[in-house]
Amino acid sequence: MLWLYGLPLPGLFLILNAVTGLACLLVWFLPRLPVAGPFMRWGKGVQPVIQGVCGTLFVLATTFLASTVWSAEDKAYEAVAIEARQVRQLRTLSHLFAEPRRSELVNLVTDYAEQSAAEWPAMGDSGGSREAERVLAALYGAAVSLAPAEQMLASQFIGALNQVGEARERRLDLAHDNVSADQWAVMMILAFILAVAVAFVHVGDDKARAIALGLVAVMVATVFFSLIAHDRPFIGQDAITAAPVIAAAKGM
């Protein structure tokens, strides 16, 4: 299912509508089946209750899941913003040291930004890269080896470096914080049950059933589109990129 996240947003919306439309088309045929038809007519007396309960359950599940997804996305933007801000602070502090220490620190900060960007594509699967951790260790090593006269700057430098490391760890954690397969399964099951409940209501009218199920298909596709578009904030068409970190390291 990961391939869906890489699709252009209009294409994603069309595919989701096609899939949900096909599913609702199959549900539309249920009253016409020899086995399912009589059963659906038997349930005619509880139609309003079934539709109301199913609709409420789907709305509640969507609300809770969407809240989690958008909260994770906001935290991801915040983590990258903090990381970029502290990288910029490291670059600024590096220029306050005398040569050759200045060039060493500036080069290390730039190297960190490049390694951070390099770990971006795979951090959702493999986590952080050893190269980025190596550069962080080198920055710590350079900071603690500063001369006694530079200790005031060194303490500020280490403080900013600590925040870079914390923001990076938060970013790596959020790269794994996405909608699970179980949650997707629950949403699909609830959507299917809702479609069946709508079919119950319009079991005796083919045209009304088609219109109602068509609306359900578009609604479910829109919900899934919104979740996929905001889930996994570091991949996809609207993904958060490493550009702010790179720009901060270059002083832009």
Tell me whether residue 175 is in a domain: yes
pTM over 0.85: no
State the burial class of residue 157 (Cβ atoms within 10 Å of its Cβ: 0-12, 13-18, 19+).
buried
Tell me whether residue 4 is in a domain: no
Tell me whether residue 220 is in a domain: yes
Tell me whether residue 242 is in a domain: yes
State the burial class of residue 241 (Cβ atoms within 10 Å of its Cβ: 0-12, 13-18, 19+).
exposed
Q: How confident is the model at residue 81 (pLDDT cuts 50, 70, 90)?
A: very high
Tell me whether residue 1 is in a domain: no
* Residues 48-72 pLDDT 10s: 677 778 888 889 999 999 998 989 8
Tell me whether residue 5 is in a domain: no
Handedness of CA 90, 92, 98, 100 (dihedral sign): positive
Tokens 């710590």 sit on residue: 140
Tell me whether residue 26 is in a domain: yes
Residue from 229, 243, 227 nearest 80 by CA: 243
For position 221, what pLDDT does the model report? 95
Q: How far apart are the first and last CA of the chain?
A: 37
Q: How confident is the model at residue 242 (pLDDT cuts 50, 70, 90)?
A: confident
DSSP state of 98: P
Domain count, the chain: 1
Angstrom CA distances, 112 to 11, 21, 176, 185, stand at: 36, 48, 22, 39
∠ at Cα 173 (168, 176), nearest 5°? 135
Tell me whether residue 3 is in a domain: no
**Residue 120 structural domain:** 11-249
Residue 128 has φ and ψ, to the nearest 5°, of -75, 160
Residue from 235, 227, 200, 239 nearest 216 by CA: 200
∠ at Cα 29 (27, 35), nearest 5°? 100
* Residues 117-169 pLDDT 10s: 888 877 767 677 788 888 888 888 887 776 666 677 778 888 888 998 898 88
User: 29-38, 53-62, 233-242 — which is least confidently predicted?
Assistant: 29-38
